[in-house]
Amino acid sequence: MARPTILQGLGAAMLSLALAGCAAQDGHRSTGQYTDDVSTTARVREALLKTPNLRSNTIQVETYQGVVQLSGFADNEDSAASAVGAARGVAGVKEVRNNIQIRNPR
The answer to whether position 2 is within a domain reads no
Asked if residue 28 lies in contact with residue 54, where contact means CB atoms within 8 angstroms, the answer is no
> Structurally, how many domains does the chain consist of?
1
Give 28-69 pLDDT, tens digit per residue: 778 889 999 999 999 999 999 999 989 889 999 999 999 999
The answer to whether position 47 is within a domain reads yes
Give 16-28 pLDDT, tens digit per residue: 666 655 555 556 7
The answer to whether position 43 is within a domain reads yes
Please, where are the H alpha helices in 23-104?
Answer: 31-49, 77-88
| pTM, entire model | 0.72
17 φ/ψ angles, rounded to the nearest 5 degrees: -65, -40
The answer to whether position 1 is within a domain reads no
The answer to whether position 84 is within a domain reads yes
Residue 60's domain comprises: 25-102
> Which CATH number characterizes residue 62's domain?
3.30.300
The answer to whether position 83 is within a domain reads yes
The answer to whether position 58 is within a domain reads yes
